[in-house]
Chains A and B, each alone.
Chain A
Amino acid sequence: MTLRRLARLASLATLCLLPFAVYAEETLHLPAEASAGPMRPLVIHAALDLPQARPLLEDFHRRHPQIDLTYRNLTTLALHERFLERPDEADVMISSAMPWQFALANEGHARPLGGPILDAWPAWARWRDELVAFTFEPIVMVVHRDLAELAEPPRNHAELLALLNGHRQALAGRVASYDPVRSGAGYGYAMEESRLSPRYWDLVAALGAAEAELVETTGAMLDGLVEGRFLIGYNLLGSYAAPIVEANPQLELVIPDDYALVTQRLAFVPRRAPHPDTATLFVDYLLSVEGQRTLAERTSLGAIHPGLDGPGTAAELRGRLGDALRPPGLGPGLLAALDRLKRRALLARWQREFRRDPGDADSAAAPAAD
């Protein structure tokens, strides 16, 4: 039991380094092999945890041993601010904060890439040949087996809403979700969901009525779920939840079958990148069949290469969930999330709905809710 708990703690330690939270910089250095020819430096700044990134980086380095690879894992916020301070430091920028990545590219900070590999990449996963999405990570619910004592685990948002309304007392304080005020990712999901369905606000009200715990990271939610403090975690990053759920049989991962948000890591090569050639080489690798196969088989990020359809690919998820998957379009609509008035308006609404009197939750479900 202690050993198992220790292992669990170890895995939690890695999850503590999730994006959207401020943690110390984490670096991986893969030195060039002297025998492989002249050294070619490559600096990658990313908001992508090392356990997920390492297989990719090592596979890439094995194929190009002459590259001296430096990988820095930062939070999305630190990544963004560091880039604005020193736009000529990184060769590749990778982040799951899609609006910020898009805003940088929109302002012309990204270098047009081109090339046959990019041309073959699906149009919905690239923008102007400057910005590419290379992962496909659904936003999921994680439920604890103990919930079965109360009710069937919810399969979708409607069932979750019914469950929350039906067992308000029993679930009080045992539901966890993102705090959109403190977490950038949580704000992003709230924005997406409010666009997708007006009933989202009922869900927020129900969460508030159930005194849901609002946390900053997927890791914190998983933490509470593993410990049994939480019965339901809503809006977890699937790629981080999947390995934990696999390791903990008392947990179950649910991808909602009515709609499921999808987040995608976006990569671009800065216009002032010091080593654009090696940077392009790396991006090409990320989009190549080899890179995407590594992504599918050795990480939980979700490959989107149209030629792959095994487990761990977007094609497999699509086959299972069909139209329910809602990847955010790679377009200027993303910029709305960064508008400061928009943010204040949305958060004000969110907090208002969250504090809404539980009694009027049902009446607010009427079409006039908005």
Chain B
Amino acid sequence: MTLAGSLYGRLLAWLALPLLALGALLLLQAWFEARDTADRAYDRLLDAATLAIAEQVQWQDERLWLDLPPAALEMLASDAQERVFYTLVDQQGHYITGNARLPAHPGDDAASGDTLLYGDIEWHGMPLRQGVRRSRLEDWRSRERFEVRVAHTREGRDALRIELLRGNLAGILGMGALAVVTLLLAVRVALVPLTRLRHAIRARDPRTLASLDLALPRELAELREALNELLARMRRVRANQERFIGDASHQLRTPLAGISARAELALRRQSPDEWRAALETIHATSERTTRLAMQLLSLTRLDNPEYRPEHRPLDLNACVRQTVRDHWVTCHQAGVDLGADCAEGEVSVAGTDWQLAEALGNLVDNARRYGARHITLATRRAPPRLVVEDDGPGIPRERRLLVLRPFHRGRDDGEGSGLGLAIVDGIARNHGARLTLGEGEQGRGLRVELRFPEASP
């Protein structure tokens, strides 16, 4: 379980790192605080000792005089048996008495009263804490200033500091341990729904697309909803597929059944003319069936989301002219007037020419089959459009969406396959074009428009 690779690790790392930093900060603070506290406590000893000495400083024989109280030195030493030093100096800093010549303190005088200063000094290789009291004689003969310096080694302070620190450390470590345990539990508990979701998905029947019904916290509920939406789409797609397969097999069965019945009928006859007539009928039907099968195939191909044909730049006018050439004879024979109304110059889009040709062919076929007398193929610019307009019966507004479904026909005369418009729709989607169905110019007929996106330069 790497940290970055697991949610558990990530959460833990992002919670534990600040916790660690906080712990380190607390430790640091405890360290300094313990030192300050110990120094404050022991500086009072320096304070008291300097006061006890200063009180015994007198003016005698025209000079400073000290009757050193032994208790002043005793109070400088705690149970830790510190080494003790003291010095008395006069106003000019001249040594009067003492068992050591302690250095002066650089601090300034207090505004009033005695000046008390503390400092850490190094004296003969020993780290000492020094206390300095600047005072003056309260004598009517002399107001001489003097300075009492005392110092002791740090054993007592260090012992107190360690003791304080140990107390703090125990607290901090205890809290830290508690926090880590809480953290581990909390992260584990928080991630339990995820495990539940995984188990629920694993335990599902792979064939079912039923939506997931599981109580989950909000963040995971969103994930569940997204999953359910996906499942719902898959259910719809599958329903469509099932209907399409049903429709397709029905569509193929009808002409095949016709062929079979026609052949059976012909076999009972003896006349070659009748056989021929039957064979011609069978031939026509099988051709229609073949076309139906091909349309099914191309529709399947268009519906396949994996299928992405390579589009190339092409001229819509060329497509239109080619379609008119291909269908002119058929239409002329059927007495239909097929015309083209091309925009000037080239109307270029990115597309696949055979697909566009098939779409146009389907539209022309449809129009012809549904009884149009005039069919006009047109191209327009900005945005590039293909328009097929006829004067046939048209499609009522409320059915215009339905006719785009496979196997839905404008009327039931057994002639069309019902796939034509669905295929056109598929091709339009394939080109990123929008298919709109409307009415002809005088409110009659059908106007089909394919609106392409602007060709990228």
A and B: bona fide binding partners: yes
Taking the closest CB of chain B, its distance from the CB of A344, in whole angstroms, is 9
Tell me if A9 counts as interface (CB < 8 A to partner B).
no
* Given contacts A107-B124, A128-B81, A333 and B65 within 8 Å (CB-CB): no
Please indicate the chain A residues that have their CB under 8 angstroms from the CB of B70 in the complex.
Answer: 195, 332-337
Q: Which of B22-79 contact A (CB under 8 A)?
A: 65-71, 73-74, 76-77
> Which residue of B73, B96, B124 contacts A332 across the interface (Cβ within 8 Å)?
B73
B61-105 interface with A by 8 A CB criterion: 65-71, 73-74, 76-77, 81, 83-85, 96-100
A339 at the interface (CB under 8 A from B): yes
Q: Nearest A residue to B99 by beta-carbon distance? A: A335
- Cα A338 to Cα B74 with chains together (Å): 14
Give complex CA distance A332, B150 in Å: 12
Does B74 contact A103, Cβ atoms closer than 8 Å? no
Give A325-347 interface residues, CB cut-off 8 Å to B.
329, 331-342, 345-346
The answer to whether A341 and B71 have CB atoms under 8 Å apart is no
Q: Is B239 an interface residue (CB 8 A)?
A: no
A156 interface residue (CB < 8 Å to B): no
A339-B68, A341-B65 known; A106-B83 Cβ under 8 A: yes
B74 touches A341 (CB 8 A): no
Per-residue CB proximity of A1-19 to B under 8 Å, as 1/0?
0000000000000000000
Q: Restricting to A124-174, which residues have a CB under 8 Å from any CB of B?
A: 127-128
Shortest distance from the beta carbon of B323 to any chain A beta carbon, whole Å:
113
B126 at the binding interface (Cβ < 8 Å):
yes
Within 8 A of A (CB), among B140-187: none
Q: Which residue from B69, B71, B77, B124 sits with its C-beta under 8 Å from A108? A: B124
Q: Give A128's nearest chain B residue, CB to CB.
A: B81
- Report A123 CB to chain B, min CB distance, Å: 9
State in angstroms the CA–CA spacing of A346 and B77 once bound together. 24
Closest to B125 in A: A108
- Write the nearest CB–CB distance from A266 to chain B, whole angstroms: 14
Measured in the bound complex, the distance between the Cα atoms of B65 and A340 in whole Å is: 10
How distant is B403 from chain A, measured CB to nearest CB, in Å? 107
A74, B63: Cα distance in complex, Å: 37
- Distance of A195 Cα from B70 Cα, bound (Å): 9
Q: Which residues of A contact B65 (CB under 8 A)?
A: 341, 345
Are A331 and B99 also in contact (CB < 8 A) when A106-B84, A341-B65, A342-B66 are?
A: no
Complex alpha-carbon distance, A341 and B74, angstroms? 18
| Chain B: number of interface residues, binned into ranges | 20 to 34
Q: Is the CB of B68 within 8 A of A336?
A: yes
Do B97 and A339 have beta carbons less than 8 Å apart? yes
Residues of B within 8 A of A106 (CB): 83-85, 99
- A345 and B67 contacting across the interface, CB-CB below 8 Å: yes
A108-B126 contact in complex given A331-B74, A341-B66, A342-B68, C-beta closer than 8 Å? yes
Does the CB pair B68–A341 fall under 8 Å? yes
CA of A232 to CA of B73, assembled, Å: 36
Asked if A338 and B124 make an inter-chain contact with CB atoms under 8 angstroms apart, the answer reads no
B163 to chain A, nearest CB (A): 19
**Which residues of A in the span 91-111 have a Cβ within 8 Å of any Cβ on B?**
103, 106-108
Question: Most chain-A Cβ atoms within 10 A of its Cβ — which of B81, B98, B99?
Answer: B81
A333 touches B99 (CB 8 A): no
Question: Chain B residues near A329 (CB, 8 Å)?
Answer: 74
The answer to whether A339 touches B126 (Cβ under 8 A) is no
Residues of A within 8 A of B85 (CB): 106
Closest chain-A Cβ to B418's Cβ sits at a distance in Å of: 109
Q: Find chain A residues with CB under 8 A from B125 CB.
A: 108
Chain B nearest Cβ from A174, distance in angstroms:
33
Chain A hits for B84, CB < 8 A: 106, 332, 335
Within 8 A of B (CB), among A60-115: 103, 106-108
Contact A107/B67 with A332-B73, A333-B74, A336-B73 known, Cβ cut-off 8 Å:
no
Q: Which of B69, B77, B81, B100 contacts A336 (CB 8 A)?
A: B69
- Please indicate the chain B residues that have their CB under 8 angstroms from the CB of A195 in the complex: 70
Return chain B residues, CB-CB under 8 Å to A340.
97
Task: Determine the distance from Cα of A335 to Cα of B69 in the docked complex, in whole angstroms.
Answer: 10
| B129 smallest CB distance to A (angstroms) | 15
Bound CA–CA A203/B434 (angstroms): 130
- Most A CB within 10 A of own CB, among B85, B97, B98: B97
Question: Which residue of chain A has its CB nearest to the CB of B97?
Answer: A341
Smallest beta-carbon distance B119→chain A, Å: 20
Q: Collect the chain A residues with CB atoms within 8 Å of residue B76's CB.
A: 332
For the complex, what is the distance from the CA of A107 to the CA of B126, rounded to whole Å?
9
Task: Known A-B contacts: A108-B124, A342-B68. Give 7 more (CB < 8 A).
Answer: A106-B83, A107-B99, A332-B84, A333-B71, A333-B74, A336-B68, A345-B66
For the complex of A and B, the 8 pairs showing the least CB-CB separation, nearest first, are A333-B70, A336-B70, A332-B84, A332-B73, A333-B74, A342-B68, A339-B68, A341-B97
Residue positions of B touching A, CB distance < 8 A: 65-71, 73-74, 76-77, 81, 83-85, 96-100, 124-126
Give chain A's interface residues, CB within 8 Å of chain B.
Answer: 103, 106-108, 127-128, 195, 329, 331-342, 345-346
What would 13 A/B residue contacts be, using CB atoms closer than 8 Å? A107-B83, A108-B126, A331-B74, A331-B77, A331-B81, A333-B70, A335-B70, A336-B68, A336-B73, A339-B66, A339-B97, A341-B65, A342-B67
